[in-house]
Amino acid sequence: MRGTDAADDDRTEANDLQVRMLQTCSILEQISKQFADESLEATAIREAAQAVALIQQHRSLRNAYQKLLSASGGKLDAEMRTRLLRMGIDPDDLDAPDYPDELEADARD
């Protein structure tokens, strides 16, 4: 069982991630206000903010999954895998690198 310090670290990490995401989205919102609401520029900036939020959420989920994987000895049993799939979380998607910086890091290793 994990200790309180580890749980606190996870909450702090999640909070930091959320704060960074909100800051980034706020900056993008301020930039988009420089353009007409329905302009291509404003639309592109809104879509970029949505993409930032989705990427950060995916990374947060991936970090939590990696911790679960580590706590379970590096491999999920069939029951845990089934539970994740029922929640709409595909472990195979979280195992594969899908960001350029992760792909580059894997290539160097």
User: What is the structure's pLDDT at 16?
Assistant: 83
Average pLDDT over residues 31-59: 91
**Which range of residues forms the domain containing residue 11?**
4-108
- Give per-residue pLDDT as tens, 21-35: 889 989 999 999 999
User: What is the structure's pLDDT at 39?
Assistant: 95
User: What is the structure's pLDDT at 35?
Assistant: 95
Q: What is the DSSP letter of 100?
A: H
pTM assigned to the model:
0.64
Sign of CA dihedral 69, 72, 77, 81: negative
- DSSP assignments along 16-33, one per residue: HHHHHHHHHHHHHHHHHT
User: What is the number of structural domains in the chain?
Assistant: 1
User: What is the structure's pLDDT at 103?
Assistant: 47
Looking at per-residue pLDDT, the higher value among 18 and 50 belongs to 50
